Amino acid sequence: MEESARNTLIRAGVTDDRIETHYVPGAWELPLCVSWLLDRGGLDGVVALGCVIRGETPHFEYVSLGATTGLESLAREFGIPVGFGLLTTDSADQARARAGGAKGNKGEEAALAVLEMCELATSIR
C-alpha cells in the first residue's frame, strides 16, 4: 500500500523530497504520529496506512475505532486532509486483496483522496 500511495502522489506531481514515510508499531499509534506531523506543520496532507485483522477478542473493535476516530478528529482539528488507508478485515487474505490484490489498493485510494481534498481546499479557500 505504501508503494502504491507513493507512486500515486508522484504521478500527480508531488516530488519525492516532499514525501515522508514514518512507521508506527501498530494502527493504534497512527493518530499520535499524525498528530506529531501536523503539529510540526508544513504538510498539505497525510496518507495514513495500516491494517487491523479481526481476532478472537474485542480488541479489533477498540483498535479500529480508536484509530479511525483519532485520524478523523485530527483532519478536522488541523484542517488538513488525512487519507484513511486503514484496512479492517477478517483475515490476512482479505487484507492482501485490498492491498494490491483483487479488491484494488487502498494505499492508492487514500493518496487519491488526499490529492482531491487538497484541490478542493485550494478552490474553497
Question: Which sequence positions are flagged as catalytic?
Answer: 59
- DSSP character string of the chain: -HHHHHHHHHHTT--GGG------SSGGGHHHHHHHHHHH---S-EEEEEEEE--SSTHHHHHHHHHHHHHHHHHHHHT--EEEEEEEESSHHHHHHHEEETTEEHHHHHHHHHHHHHHHHHHH-
